[in-house]
Amino acid sequence: MDVMSDRSKPRVEEYMTRDVVTVAPDSTVGDVATRIAESDEHSGFPVCERRRVDGFISARDLLLADDDDPIFKVMATDLLVAHPDMKVTDAARVILRSGIQKLPVVDDAGNLVGIISNADVIRSQIERATPEKVGKLMRTLEQIHDINLEQERRTVPIAALTPTQGRVYADELEGRRYELEHGLAEPLVVIDNNGTLLLADGHHRVLAADRLDIDEMDAYVIVIDQVVDLGMANTAKKENLERIDDIEVVDYARHPLVQTTKRLQSKR
């Protein structure tokens, strides 16, 4: 697990739209088609009854249906839905892989609480606040180890970094590569533990840089001028992580907080 705590990473609930426009299962195709035609924002709607998500209706679903048909006859019923506690980056993978533009968000009871779109995902990435993350990590380390730390901004050689995360996702790796090629990548977060450079945040960026033959990167460096027994270092040792080459690149695996409406309905 990346040392920058999972809880510090943006969650779906922070970026989803909470005021979601829905349609009822017994609405007619004609009525919904009119709503879509008159809307500048909506090309489809979640289909809900008492906030429970039963399906999703898109303009494509309406093409061959009669105007008087009820929506429940033509809606998609096996759609992906996310949980509000899911990381935005994981929701982005679902959106990217599935080709959908909007992902309904449901709570543990299956009630619709929001919707997250590809535009929301982009916004979450633009708003990443690395200095704040670094400050939070510094305060945490100071409290745990009862030490005073300093922060520096410097260039670090990739070959000297010790990873603390054993795997990265292939699709997110492509996104970080694009950022590097266009000069958009944010700095890494590195802990200098008396000369040992532990990579705390930025594993996808580092691996993408390595593939682009980039030898060094800009970084926020938290400096520890004495050897401290850090949990992240112990984790790296336990997972045999010594160099960037030790990081495994994996394809997208279904996230445990992603479900389908059919699975939700089976719980009722």
Residue type, 14: E
Q: Which token pair is 158?
A: 């990739």
Q: What count of Cα atoms within 13 Å lies in the side-chain half-sphere of residue 226?
A: 7
Q: Does domain 6-125 have CATH number 3.90.550.50?
A: no
> Tell me, what's the pLDDT at 130?
62
CATH number of 129-250: 3.90.1530.10
- Show me where the domains of the chain are located: 6-125, 129-250
| Residue partners of 101: CB distance under 8 A and separation at least 6 | 43, 95, 117, 118
> Tell me, what's the pLDDT at 1?
43
CA 7 – CA 4 distance, rounded (Å):
8
> Tell me, what's the pLDDT at 128?
58
> Tell me, what's the pLDDT at 122?
63
Q: CB-based burial of residue 66 (10 Å sphere; 0-12 exposed, 13-18 middle, 19+ buried)?
A: exposed
Predicted TM-score of the model (pTM): 0.52
Q: Which token pair is 79?
A: 């759609």
Residue type, 126: I
> Tell me, what's the pLDDT at 75?
94
> Tell me, what's the pLDDT at 209?
95
Q: Which token pair is 9?
A: 């990473």
Place of tokens 């979640």: 46
> Tell me, what's the pLDDT at 267?
61
Indicate the DSSP class of residue 221: E
Strands 196-201 and 188-193: antiparallel
Nearest residue to 46 via CA among 97, 94, 102, 119:
102
Q: Spell out the per-residue pLDDT of the chain, length 268, in tens.
A: 444 445 557 889 988 989 899 999 999 999 999 999 988 778 889 999 888 999 999 888 998 899 999 999 999 888 889 999 998 888 888 887 777 778 899 998 889 999 998 777 766 664 454 677 788 888 888 888 888 899 999 999 999 999 998 888 887 787 788 778 878 778 899 999 989 999 998 899 999 999 999 999 999 999 998 878 888 888 788 889 999 999 998 875 455 666 665 556 566 6
- The answer to whether the beta carbons of residues 187 and 129 sit under 8 Å apart is no
CA 107 – CA 85 distance, rounded (Å):
9
CA 76 – CA 61 distance, rounded (Å):
8
> Tell me, what's the pLDDT at 258?
64
